[in-house]
Amino acid sequence: MKVDAVKKKPIEENKPDLIVRARFVRMAPDKIRFAGKQIISKELNQAINILEFSKILARKPLLLVLKNASSQIKDLPSRQAGRNIGKEMYIKSIAVDEGPRLKRRRIVHRGRATTILKRLSHITVVLSDNGNPKSQARNPKQI
């Protein structure tokens, strides 16, 4: 058992959550955040079903991240023998951060040019098997 050096109290060792990331996704973060609000604190398979039948275009990158997470869960017991993982994993939090911007030029009248910003996103999904947690928004970029 670990002890906090400052507070002199034992630290509870929680089971680590599963973190899945997708970086440099070619879509604006605002669009993905809108789709992510629908699936926060849902069970993983239920969230995949919600996104598959949604008409929002930002569902595709989120679906790829969630399907990647479900395949990692299937492999997880073989990697960590001491951890018992149930089939029901819940989405604890989703963070969609802004990545770099691709800058393009568009020629307009009278020899001028305007800048077109193509935004990229970084998606982080945290899955937990501790029941149905509430969403934990730490900053405005996190849903």
Q: What share of the chain is helix, strand, coil (3-state, %, to 5)?
A: 30, 35, 40
Residues 6+ apart with CB under 8 A from 81: none
In one letter, which amino acid is 91? Answer: I
Cβ–Cβ < 8 Å for 106, 35: no
Please tell me whether residue 97 adopts helix, strand or coil conformation: strand
Cβ–Cβ < 8 Å for 48, 39: no
Mean pLDDT for back-to-back runs of 10 residues, the chain (143 residues) = 58 71 96 94 93 94 94 72 62 95 95 96 90 52 61
User: Between vectors from CA 91 to CA 123 and to CA 80, what angle results, nearest 5°?
Assistant: 95
